[in-house]
Amino acid sequence: MIKRLQKRYALSEQGAKDLVKGCLACVMQNLSFMFPVGLLFYFVRDLLNGGVPGEKIAFYVIGCVACIGLILFTTYIQYNATYFATYTESGVRRITLAEQLRKIPLSFFGKKDLADLTSTIMADCTFLEQSFSHFIPELAGSIISTILISISLFIFDWRMALAALWVTPVAFAIVGFSAKVQEKLNQKAMDVRITCADGIQECIETVRDLKANNAEAEYMKGLGKKIRAVERRSILNEFGLAAFVVSASLVLKTGIATVALAGSVLLIQGSLDVITFFLFLLVVSRLYDPLQGALQNLAAVISTRTNIARMNEILDHPIQQGDTRLSNKGFDIVFDHVSFAYNTGETVLKDVSFTAKQGEVTALVGPSGGGKTTVSRLAARFWDVSRGRITVGGMDISKTDPETLLSLFSIVFQDVTLFDNTILENIRIGNKEATDEQVMAAARLANVDEFAEKLPDGWNTNIGENGCELSGGERQRISIARAFLKNAPIILLDEATASLDVENETLIQTALSRLIEDKTVLVIAHRMRTVAGADKIVVLSEGVVAEEGAPEELKEKNGLYARMVKLQTESQNWRLA
């Protein structure tokens, strides 16, 4: 049962156990509320039989105190078993999702956007937090306690019990049959909410471009439509839910009428005594209130299916695994007949083979869309190849744990990601154990000191979200400094100097020449002069290796590389007319 609950509600093992405890606690609480009804029944019976004897007064007083104490105790147990346990599980669930995302191949993220994943970790977890603290335990508690009470009622009088309880399965069936309708409504509501969140995020991120192109008014019209779509869907959701729950509640309330009618008939016939009739009126007045809440809880539990499905999509996704021990001998990177296609079906690489040798700089060049960046991502196992294999020092990377493998790589991406922290801490990402002196030494190799020491707080200056306080070239140099600090045996540079001016590019290349000694360097560049000093050039075009060899050799072949050099030389000599 625990395993089924884990799967059904995307819970940890402890969370599933706590959910069972919460349900049992709710059963205890609901049953405790029936004790005052029983006490009142016996008190009224004594009154009708000639009054309450003096010796029984103490019994009823103690009984009242005991009922209050029991209700307080069970409520305390129920509160701890539902709310506190739920908050703990909510934190565990978010951490579990984050850990799973860390291990999932990057191909998964190509199908998801930031707003969708953020909504799953934050909004879906919050909704389930409410479900596990309010809806599911109380629903289970209501159902189980109602069954136990129903058995007692049938023992007293099966005819009156039938009159009181026939409405219960009918009411629950009405809400239960709404499951498919609710799922469709919830999915559509989720879709428009994600679309709206995407629009808001896009608006914030692109506000500069919108202003520059006088496109703000037009964009806001579209965003307004998305917001109104969320509003309409929310209203439809509430109406769809209310239509079933209200109908079921009306059916449930007719139970009071059938109890009164059946009891009156049986009373007139003389087959039912007044005290039993009174007992059933008391019980149903107490029984239907939690059942009405249970109907609402059932509808809420049904609506969680969409949220749980989104969480399970992450939790059930295959993760990248492998040996946590490195078995490589050296650091040569070998692509052996590698083919790769994204999930969209778009083939990016077709039978690519080449070797990036240790102690050499291997440059990947070619037209845009030729597969250069994909090659670098595959080398670090951000994705797994469709066919062929990639080895590092003879070690098959598809059989190596990704995090273990990445300990061999220092990577500088074309799109730099910085954190809202100081310059020192942003560089220290390359090696969290590094001292300030080591961080600054790496920073100087990347010429970060040139601008860092001019800032108001120097190295401790906060650079804002994603380094918004810095220029593109300054951000890039911080990223390069991380690579220096990590000092891994393999270096991947994806357009690492693209945002630098000629002077700084020359300085960085000089620093890189000091860093790459006896290391495997894979460089992606569009500027031919950037890779002119490379030991080997691999020209990728339309997903295949078009040419490879030393720069001078490729120039002499007068092929694609020579043509790219010629075109860039002509573009550099271009002048305004």
Strands 333-341 and 387-392, bridge-based pairing: antiparallel
- Cα–Cα distance, 294 to 137 (Å, whole number): 10
CB count within 10 Å of CB 201 equals: 14
Question: Across all residues in the chain, what is the average pLDDT?
Answer: 82
In the predicted structure, residue 218 carries a pLDDT above the cut 60: yes
Q: What average pLDDT does the segment 199-228 reach?
A: 85
**Encoded tokens for 216:** 């703000």
Least confident of 214-218, 427-431, 565-569: 565-569
Instruction: Walk me through the domains of the chain, giving residue ranges and CATH numbers.
Output: 2-314 (1.20.1560.10), 329-408+489-577 (3.40.50.300), 416-487 (3.40.50.300)
Question: Would you state the structure tokens that stand for residue 5, as one six-digit string?
Answer: 């609950």
Give the least confident one: 11-20, 24-33, 44-53, 518-527.
Answer: 44-53
Cα 147 to Cα 136, 303, 406, distances in angstroms: 17, 25, 57
Question: Which residues face 523 on adjacent strands?
Answer: 363, 493
The answer on pLDDT for 333 being more than 90 is yes
Compute, in degrees rounded to 10, the torsion defined by CA atoms 105, 110, 114, 116.
-100
Residue 412 has pLDDT above 70, yes or no: yes
Cα separation of 28 and 22, whole Å? 10
pLDDT value for 111: 67
| Predicted local distance difference test score (pLDDT) of residue 357 | 92
Name the percent of the chain lying above pLDDT 90: 8
- How much is the pLDDT for 501? 67
Task: Kindly report, residue by residue over 259-317, the tens digit of the pLDDT.
Answer: 888 888 888 888 888 878 877 887 777 777 777 777 877 887 777 777 788 888 888 88
Higher-pLDDT residue of 550, 241 = 550
Picking from 198, 207, 199, 194, the residue whose alpha carbon sits closest to that of residue 223 is 199
For β-strands 520-524 and 361-365, DSSP reports them as: parallel
Q: Which two tokens stand for residue 278?
A: 């009174």
Nearest to 141 by CA among 299, 5, 303, 298: 298
Q: What is the pLDDT of residues 376-394, one digit of tens each?
A: 889 989 888 889 999 999 9
Question: What own/partner pairs with CB < 8 Å and gap ≥ 24 does 17-20 have?
Answer: 18/81, 18/85, 18/86, 18/88, 18/89, 19/85, 19/132, 19/136, 19/137
DSSP string, 301-333: HHHHHHHHHHHHHHHTS-----BSS---SS--E
Measured CA to CA, the distance from residue 132 to residue 140 in angstroms comes to 11
Q: Who has greater pLDDT, 137 or 112?
A: 137
Quickly count: other Cβ atoms within 10 Å of residue 222's Cβ: 11
Within 10 angstroms of residue 211's Cβ, the number of other Cβ atoms is: 10
Q: What is the pLDDT averaged over residues 424-442?
A: 89
The full length of the chain comes to 577
What one-letter code names the amino acid at 328? N
Which residues have a Cβ under 8 Å from the Cβ of 281 and sit 6 or more positions away? 259, 260, 263
Q: Report the distance separating Cα 386 and Cα 384, nearest Å.
A: 7
DSSP output for 239-308: HHHHHHHHHHHHHHHHHHHHHHHHHHHHHHHTSS-HHHHHHHHHHHHHHHHHHHHHHHHHHHHHHHHHHH
CA 31 to chain centre: 38
489-523 pLDDT, tens digit per residue, is 998 888 766 656 666 667 666 666 766 777 898 98
- Do residues 237 and 186 touch, judged by C-beta distance below 8 A? yes
Closest CA relative to residue 39, chosen from 25, 55, 57: 57
DSSP 8-class letter at 120: I
Residue 573 has pLDDT above 70, yes or no: no
